Amino acid sequence: MRTPLALAAGLAAAAALVALPHFLGRSGVYLLSYWVVFVVATMGLNLTVGYAGQKSLGHAAFFGIGAYTVAILMKAGLSFWLGLPLAALLCFASGIVVGFPALRVQAIYLAFATLGFNTAAWLFMRNEEWLTGGTFGIKDIARPSLFGVSFDGHRAYYYLCLAVAAILAALLYGLLRSPWGKAFTALRDNPIRAESLGVDVRGYTLLAFAIGAAYAGVAGALFAPLLEFIDPAPFSVGASIMMYLMVVVGGPGYFFGPMLGAAVGVVLPEWLRFAQDWYLFVFGAAVVLLMIWLPDGLLSIPGRLRARREARAASAARAAAAARLDGGGR
């Protein structure tokens, strides 16, 4: 984002996101809104996984807690604008609780611990019918309005999602540039060194989970009115794995990774529908190939190109130096 070119590209992308709905039908706008919701959710997961290095496979549970919080509160007659911060807060709190295992276990063991949490949360959503409506879900969730402006229309609701996403992206951008952000990456790269340098490993691990969870909570809060109906299905372990995939494909630890990753996870399967019966196969194959060629995600492409250029320059320099040495030896 430092060069004018990148800035121009960013501005063009932002302008496109604002203008695009006017060229799309209902379904296009819906898909775009779906994408924005997943961008918000995966931005949080990117913080937990990509920046702080905590392998979390329970993100869909937070997403679900956010969605159910808003749905239940709105059904009880409370405002969406109260439900949204409450959803974030509740997820922040549960994020801290789920973060505790991360203090003891790491890597794949942590992934399993969070996966267990996801399953428990999913079972709760499904079995506690008095609260969550069980398998029948909660229907007729209204879309909110603010100061007399209704967000009921498909374009209006998209702009609401986009605005929330923009605010959260700006917050995350600021956070990552703050000492907190540096502490998160220090935690990921070398926790022992981080601790010896005075970083409170315990506190930051919990925070990485809690902030990531709060993002998922906000995404869930936007998701419920988008569908106008929720049941436990979209919050299963499978959905957590899908979100993890979005982060990894986009590029974990890259700020714009979730935007690309969510596009791959949400938009690509729709776009591939021309392949008919094969579209999910093509999608799966594309993901496998991506992982083989770009294990660090799509956004690692510029870095890889630069590294290759530098390597080539370095080897040319080495060859030149060797030639000089050979010449000198004779």
- Applying CB under 8 A, the residues found at the interface with another protein are 9, 13, 16, 20, 23-28, 30-32, 34-35, 126-127, 134-137, 139-140, 227-229, 231, 233-234, 256, 259-260, 263, 267-271, 273-274, 277, 279-280, 298
CA distance 265 to 247: 10
Rank residues 191 and 269 by Cβ distance to another protein and give the closer one.
Answer: 269
Q: Tell the smallest beta-carbon distance from residue 184 to another protein (Å).
A: 24
Q: Tell the smallest beta-carbon distance from residue 288 to another protein (Å).
A: 17
Q: Tell the smallest beta-carbon distance from residue 266 to another protein (Å).
A: 9
Assign 3-class secondary structure to the chain. Answer: CCCHHHHHHHHHHHHHHHHHHHHCCHHHHHHHHHHHHHHHHHHHHHHHHHHCCCCCCCHHHHHHHHHHHHHHHHHCCCCHHHHHHHHHHHHHHHHHHHHHHHHHCCHHHHHHHHHHHHHHHHHHHHHCHHHHCHHHCEECCCCCEECCEECCCHHHHHHHHHHHHHHHHHHHHHHHHCHHHHHHHHHHHCHHHHHHCCCCHHHHHHHHHHHHHHHHHHHHHHHHHHHCEECCHHHCHHHHHHHHHHHHHHCCCCCCHHHHHHHHHHHHHHHHHHHHHHHHHHHHHHHHHHHHHCCCCHHHHHHHHHHHHHHHHHHHHHHHHHHHHHHHHC
Rank residues 183 and 298 by Cβ distance to another protein and give the closer one.
Answer: 298
Rank residues 26 and 202 by Cβ distance to another protein and give the closer one.
Answer: 26
Q: Tell the smallest beta-carbon distance from residue 309 to another protein (Å).
A: 21
Rank residues 110 and 266 by Cβ distance to another protein and give the closer one.
Answer: 266
Rank residues 81 and 271 by Cβ distance to another protein and give the closer one.
Answer: 271
- CB 268, CB 219: distance < 8 Å: no
CA distance 313 to 315: 6
Rank residues 96 and 233 by Cβ distance to another protein and give the closer one.
Answer: 233
Q: Tell the smallest beta-carbon distance from residue 51 to another protein (Å).
A: 20
Q: Tell the smallest beta-carbon distance from residue 328 to another protein (Å).
A: 49
Q: Tell the smallest beta-carbon distance from residue 118 to another protein (Å).
A: 16
Say which residue the tokens 């594309």 belong to.
286
Rank residues 98 and 262 by Cβ distance to another protein and give the closer one.
Answer: 262
Name which of 79, 61, 59 is nearest 123 in CA terms: 61
Q: Tell the smallest beta-carbon distance from residue 59 to another protein (Å).
A: 16
Rank residues 96 and 286 by Cβ distance to another protein and give the closer one.
Answer: 286
